[in-house]
Amino acid sequence: MKADSSPNESASRSDLFDSLLRSATVVLYFSPDSARSIALDAIEQLRTDQLDTRIRFLNLVGTSHHLQANYSDALGYYHDALSYSLQLKDSTRTANLYNNIGIAHLNTGNYKDAYDYFLQALNKYESLDQPRNISSTRNNIGLLFRELNNSDRALENFRLAREGFTIAGDSVGITATLNNIGSVFVKDNQLDEALGYFHEASILATHSANTFGLSVAHQGMATVYQQQDSLEKAVFHFQQTISIADKIRQPFVKANAFIGLSNIYMHENQHLKALNYAEDALQIAINIKNRVLEYECYQTLSEIHERTGNYQEGLDYHKRFHQLKEELLNQTIVHQVHNLELSSLSQTNQLQQLELERKELAISKKNNLLWFAVLVFILAITGLYFIYLNHRNRQRVKLQQTIIELTEKKSHAAVEAEIQERKRIGQELHDGLGQLLSVAGLNVSVLQKKKDIAEPRRTELLNAVMRSVDEAFSEVRNISHNL
């Protein structure tokens, strides 16, 4: 089968398996073998990754064995489904399977394991906050205490279940608990109370079109009337049960009603009618392969033949009754051993699951530490980068301040140099050029004041003036050159 099938092909296959599951469910109660055959064929066609669908078919196969009282095989398939459910981590399906396994143990008389599985289912449902399923499990726990003849605990759980079903608005569940409460009062021989609950259940079942619940209520009322020796009423309600069982195709319910009628007619010494009903019940038991129902039929047939004086036939049926009952008793022991093996396997699977979860947690912790280290490294690098940027910025500011200070110093030095240069030039002008011009001025003043100076002297003074002027020009040139 191709793993890379198109979405259309996958949808088509899903529809096919849903159709097969519906078909198997329809025939489950009146033909468990046919339902099982459909389911097993479907399982063969499933891909390994279709775990949810596989769980549903395995559960159906287990139920088919359960209906035939093959509890060992039923438990095997239930546990197979449970292993896949745990693998898939589907809490609701896991809780449903705990419930089914608990019921199988209840039917084999393995009450301790039944109670353990019911409690596991109850805890799951409570954690998932599923009131209807919680009530259903409470109902099953009530059935367990009923079998243990602990009426108080049975009624306590049935009433809790009834309250839960009432809150959930589940009329089918309410009807079931009413019938079960009635059955407790039947065991306690409180027949009037029992009849009241069966009557209430029948009214509710009629209003809600719950035909199965109605058949159980009629059978309960028939049992009460039979114990009260109101045989006509008992026959009427057994007949009503048979009529409903035919409509809803529930052969097991029908066979139980046949046994009830057989017992009534046997005690009324209408042995032919009793025999016919018992044989009809036996045929149904053989057809649906329900061994518990079968040995109950053998017991009834044995008693009928004994009453009619057919002792050999009675003895043969009595032997079959004891042989089958012994087989079932031995099977119960095998169930308990098998359950220990399955429980051990289940615990091993759970330990493996816990080990896988532990490893996943360790890997998750390592990944978290790695991500934390990476985050710290990134933060450290980012911090160092910001520190570097801050340092570089401060260095830049410091450099700018240094440049400004140097510029200021240069400006100050330039101004100071200019001032000194001016002082120097002034000094040079005063010391050099001033003196020369003063000498020249004196000579010119002499020439101006003394008109009678001799010509040689005049010439000498004029030459002195010219020398002073020339020297003054030379001094000016030197000063200009030194600027």
Alpha carbon 139 to its chain centroid, in Å, reads 26
- Residue 2 pLDDT: 37
| CA separation for the pair 101, 78 (Å, rounded) | 6
What SS3 state is found at 234? helix
**Placement of tokens 């097993």 in the chain:** 40
Q: Are 186 and 224 in contact (CB under 8 A)?
A: yes
DSSP state of 23: H
Contact between 136 and 152 under an 8 Å Cβ cutoff? The reply is no
pLDDT for 144: 92
Per-residue confidence (pLDDT) for residue 140, from 0 to 100: 94
* Run of H or E residues at 193: helix 191-207
CB of 174 closer than 8 Å to CB of 162:
yes
d(CA 72, CA 54): 20
Q: What are phi and psi of 108, to 5 degrees?
A: -95, 0
Q: How far apart are CA 107 and CA 277, in angstroms?
A: 25
pLDDT tens over the chain, length 483 residues: 334 455 555 666 778 888 888 988 888 877 888 989 999 999 998 888 888 999 999 999 999 888 777 878 889 899 999 999 998 889 999 999 999 999 988 887 788 889 999 999 999 999 999 999 999 999 999 999 998 999 999 999 999 999 999 999 999 999 999 999 999 999 999 999 999 999 999 999 999 998 889 999 999 999 999 999 999 999 999 999 999 988 888 888 899 999 999 999 999 999 999 999 999 999 988 887 787 888 889 999 999 988 988 888 888 888 887 887 787 666 555 555 455 555 555 556 555 666 767 777 778 888 888 888 888 889 889 888 889 888 888 888 888 888 888 888 888 877 787 787 777 777 766 666 667 677 777 767 766 677 677 777 777 777 877 777 777 777 777 766 666
Pairwise CA distance, residues 298 & 296, whole Å: 5
Token pair for 53: 């669908």
pLDDT value of residue 80: 92
Question: What pLDDT is stored for residue 4 in this prediction?
Answer: 45
The rounded distance, in Å, linking the Cα atoms of 94 and 350 is 13
Contacting residues for 303 by C-beta, under 8 A, at least 6 apart: 266, 314
Question: Which domains, from first to last, does the chain contain?
Answer: 8-283 (1.25.40.10)
CA distance 176 to 399: 93
Cα–Cα nearest to 222, from 188, 246, 199: 199
Structure tokens at 236: 């009427």
Q: How many CB atoms lie within 10 A of CB 361?
A: 10
- The answer to whether the beta carbons of residues 58 and 73 sit under 8 Å apart is no
Q: Give the chain's count of helices (H) and strands (E).
A: 18, 0
Give me the pLDDT at residue 273, please. 92
